[in-house]
Every structure is written in C-alpha cells, then in structure tokens.
C-alpha cells in the first residue's frame, strides 16, 4: 500500500512537472497540440503623504491610487490559434490644495483578439484576422486650464477606436508575435458634443460628426521576456497608416489640418513587473503615442478675459508626442 501510494504520488508529480514543461515550451515554440496558455499581471497601489508645519513646505495632504492589469489568453488547437490581450489602467490623485477633488492620472482600455491558422506544418506563419478596441473608463479634463471642470474633453466611448484587419502573422510560441496587414479598416467614434468644440472637429472626426472611417496598413508586434520566474517585461509596437488621409480644409478652402498616409500612427507600449513577494510587486510602465489627429495646442483662451494664454505644464517640448509613465508599488498578482 505504501509503495502504491508513493508510486501514485510520484506519477502525479511527474505529470504536473510535464505539464509545466510543456507550458514553458509553448511560450517560445509552436507545437501541434491542444492547450490553453494564460499569463498576466494585476497590480493595485497607493501612495500618500501628510505635512504639518513642515519647514521645507509641500502639499499638506495627498494620496495617489492606481491600478494596472495586463492579461493574455491563448487557445491552441493544432494548426489554429486564438489569442486575446487585455490592458487596462486607471489612476486618481487627491490633494489638499484642490479640496481632495479627484483628478485622473491614468485611464485606458485596450483589447485585442485575433484568430490565426498555420499556413504549413513546421512553419511559423499564420493567416490571421484581428480586432482591436481602445477607449477609456471615465471623463477626461484638461487640468492645465483654470476652469477645467466646466467641460470634459473626453469620456467612455468618446473617443473609441475599432480596428479590423486580415493579414500575415509570424508567431514564435506565445511570447513573440508580428502581425502585418495591408488591409485594415478603422473607425473612430465619439459623441458629437466633442466634435463641435472646434471647427476642425476632434479625435480626427469632422465637425458635428459622430464617426470617421479609415482604411490603411497595420502592423502590431508583441514580445514578452520572462527575465526570471518573478520578473517579466512586455513590449508592444503598433503602426497604422491611413490610405485615405488628406488635408482638411474649411469652407473657404484654407487648409486647417495637414495629413497624408505618411503620418503614421505610433503606439509604443512597455511594461515591467517584478513580484518581490507573495503579495507585493513593483510595476513600471511607459507608453509613447503619436497620432496626427491629436495635435498639441500650447495656448488656450481665457473665457473670463478673452485673452490667449500659454499653458503652464511640464513636457511642453514633446509637442504632439503623447507620453505616459506609471510606477506602482502595492498588492499584486501574477498568473
């Protein structure tokens, strides 16, 4: 009986060990098998401070809360692969000097799902169809303006980006994917309330319209590096060229916004996660975006005086480039 029990335990342990080995192999190798592969990082952190009669001065009371989720799920069925990626972030800051009214520091929803079929056994190339959705959770404001809370600049589904593409994908396990499509349709949607804010419209959508259609070429590359069992680095590069891009003119024929297919939309996303203990981790993220539909305007008109004022904000030298970086230390879960 003891021998039988030891044999069963050893058999079960060997089976689990074998499954783990297969999962590790599937991260870097294309295998003819049926399996689910999941991975991801969830991190929720907070930081706060309190000052009283502090000689050096500073914010009397402040608290920052932010959360990051980055998850991936793959389903392998012999020559078929179905992959879904979900990235979500949200952050709020509360300061005594602003009456502890919450101000948003981060807000993102980015979902991609794609289905591919292997071209040939032993090959790393798949014919793949892709769908991507981008938006945000709550209203956004321009806090650099003195009357920032009088009107929002964006909200959930305003804008919303929908991209559908068919193309060729190079895949090396689940950790390396390079997707290229010469035919990618994209729709940008928003509430007309925002597109009526300026004669040029907003988010690339014409004045008083609720959506705009684009057709172009799309590239999406993702790479995951498992530096150590408790350290992972993810990087992603998306490029989109709109074949239909052209200059926007007003009723007099004057060009109010220049655009052409050479103005390539860029998304460069990076995330590093370090699980320092069972319940705590450190997450560092940096995202760079360039989109010709989101120009940087360094001035604003004071609604009280009607005078044009310069915005006083850091990073003005970056121009049209959108830059975001986050650092989270808190409760974390890696799967």
User: What is the mean pLDDT, run by run of 10 residues, along the chain of 335 residues?
Assistant: 39 40 64 87 90 86 94 93 96 94 96 95 91 98 87 96 98 92 97 90 91 97 93 97 84 73 95 91 94 80 69 73 90 84
Is residue 160 within 8 A of residue 167, CB to CB? The reply is: no
Q: What are the tokens at 212? A: 């705009």
Q: What is the CATH number of domain 33-334?
A: 2.40.230
Q: 62: which residues sit within 8 A by CB, 6+ positions away?
A: 48, 49, 93, 94, 95, 96
Q: Are 205 and 187 in contact (CB under 8 A)?
A: no
Q: How many CA atoms lie within 13 A of 21 on its CB side?
A: 6
Domain boundaries, the chain: 33-334
CA nearest 91: which of 334, 288, 328, 271?
328
305: region left, alpha or beta (phi > 0 left; psi from -120 to 50 alpha):
alpha
Q: What is the pLDDT of residue 233?
A: 96
Nearest to 269 by CA among 228, 225, 224, 238: 238
Q: How far apart are CA 103 and CA 247, in angstroms?
A: 35
* Phi, psi angles (nearest 5°) of residue 288: -120, 130
Q: How far is CA 204 from CA 58, 73, 111, 152, 182, in A?
A: 40, 32, 21, 17, 21
- The reported pLDDT for the residue numbered 119 is 93
What is the per-residue pLDDT for 309? 72
Q: What is the pLDDT of residue 30?
A: 76
d(CA 264, CA 238): 10
Contact 46, 330 (CB under 8 A): yes
Q: What gap in Å lies between CA 31 and CA 208, rounded to an integer?
A: 51
Element (H, E) at 9: helix 2-28
Strands 322-334, 280-290: parallel, antiparallel or unpaired by DSSP? antiparallel
Q: Which pLDDT belongs to residue 287?
A: 96
Radius of gyration of the chain (CA): 24
The C-alpha atoms of residue 201 and residue 9 are separated, in whole angstroms, by: 67
Beta pairing, strands 211-228 & 103-118: unpaired
pTM equals 0.87
CA–CA distance, 157 with 137 (Å, rounded to integer): 8
* Contact yes or no for 25/31 (Cβ under 8 A): yes
Predicted pLDDT of residue 75: 94
């Amino acid at each position: 009986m003891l021998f039988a029990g030891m044999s069963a335990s050893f058999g079960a342990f060997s089976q689990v060990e074998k499954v783990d080995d297969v999962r590790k192999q599937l991260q870097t190798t294309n295998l003819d098998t049926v399996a689910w592969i999941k991975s991801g990082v969830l991190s929720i952190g907070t930081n706060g401070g309190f000052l009283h009669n502090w000689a050096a001065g500073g914010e009397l009371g402040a608290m920052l809360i932010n959360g990051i989720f980055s998850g991936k799920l793959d389903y392998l069925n012999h020559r078929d692969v179905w992959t879904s990626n979900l990235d979500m972030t949200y952050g709020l800051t509360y300061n005594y000097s602003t009456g502890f009214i919450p101000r948003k520091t981060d807000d993102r929803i980015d979902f991609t799902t794609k289905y591919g079929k292997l071209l040939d056994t032993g090959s790393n190339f798949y014919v793949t169809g892709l769908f991507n959705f981008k938006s945000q959770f709550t209203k956004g404001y321009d806090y650099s303006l003195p009357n920032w809370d009088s009107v929002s600049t964006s909200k959930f589904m305003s804008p919303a980006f929908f991209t559908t593409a068919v193309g060729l994908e190079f895949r090396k396990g689940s950790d390396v994917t390079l997707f290229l499509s010469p035919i990618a349709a994209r729709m940008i949607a928003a509430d007309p309330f925002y597109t009526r804010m300026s004669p040029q419209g907003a988010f690339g959508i014409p004045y008083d319209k609720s959506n705009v259609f684009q057709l172009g070429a799309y590239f999406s590359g993702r790479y995951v590096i498992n530096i150590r069992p408790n350290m992972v680095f993810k990087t992603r590069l998306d490029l989109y060229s709109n074949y239909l891009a052209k200059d926007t003119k007003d009723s007099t024929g004057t060009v109010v916004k220049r655009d052409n297919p050479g103005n390539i939309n860029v998304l460069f996303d990076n995330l590093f996660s370090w699980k320092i203990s069972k319940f705590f981790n450190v997450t560092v993220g940096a995202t760079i975006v360039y989109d010709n539909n989101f120009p940087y305007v360094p001035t604003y008109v004071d609604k009280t005086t009607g005078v044009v004022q310069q915005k006083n904000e850091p990073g003005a030298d970056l121009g049209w480039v959108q830059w975001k970086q986050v650092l989270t230390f808190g409760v974390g879960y890696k799967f």
